[in-house]
Amino acid sequence: IHNDVNVTIPAGEPFKKLETVNGIYSQLLSAGLDRQGTIIALGGGVVGDVAGFVAATYMRGIDFVQVPTTLLAMVDASVGGKTGVDLPEGKNLVGAFKQPQAVLVDLLTLSTLPDVEFSSGMAEVIKSGLIADRQLFELVESQAAQLMARSDADLELLADIVSCSVEVKRVIVEEDPYENGRRAVLNLGHTFGHAIEQVSGYRVRHGEAVAMGLVAAAHLSAVLGHCSSTLEPRISQVVDSVSLPTQIPPAYQAEDIYAAMASDKKKATGRLRFILLRDIGDVFVTDQMSESQIIETLRHCGAA
């Protein structure tokens, strides 16, 4: 490799910002990296998002490869071509679609992942099952303890949940690569989740916020009459079984979370869009709910 350069960035969502991107540009230019170069993103979802955005924009675009080392990145962030950074006003408000040349997954990296980070990734696995794979959801439901143990003997089980999650996303992204339609369903739990992250100052991890958002989406779906009232406790139980929170911390105000949703890029024609559930594996996009119903859902789910 000619003109190779190793760039490291601090861990965590607070560093997923334009200042980080500018610093990387400077290092790549100093190293003489040209348009024939390739960026390899080794790390979690933040690394992949930032590196992908740099690859999409540096010299008007160069190749990049994703090497995700966290469960969340393996099943979600490294697949699908979305890259970007946050602004103070909200998550992922600056970005680009940039497909990696390859995604290389080594499941053995999961053995060194802290428990809280592994649990965070499980939120996206549960989400994938809820969107389009009932068997995946039921696998997590029945094998949660074994999955959380992460022993070498369970590599086949881990491979199953990673491959099934990626397959759900692959099918949907190939149908709608630029999120003009069906791809929006991949945001199940995220309209709630992103707002919770923002209000918490990103002290709440992405997967934790998505987990809260999945429970909230099920509650709102039931309130609006789209699904059975038994779905919320079932989802809540699975979320809890992988050591994820089911309730929004009461330190956060429902009105503040609702206000944070106002800058969500998933809005359409000025209205908030939510992905709601009819059943496991049956989701849809709608903007047909009132502010009071959203506020009630937030309070039901723990917000003050």
Residues marked active site are found at: 60, 82, 124, 169, 179, 183, 187, 190, 194, 206
SS3 42: strand
**Judging by DSSP bridges, how do beta strands 274-279 and 282-286 pair with one another?**
antiparallel
| Max Cα-Cα span within the chain | 60
- Extended beta strands in the chain, E state: 38-43, 63-68, 82-87, 90-97, 102-103, 274-279, 282-286
Indicate the residue type of 26: S
275 in Cβ contact with 184 (< 8 Å): yes
- HSE-CB of 200 using CA atoms within 13 angstroms: 19
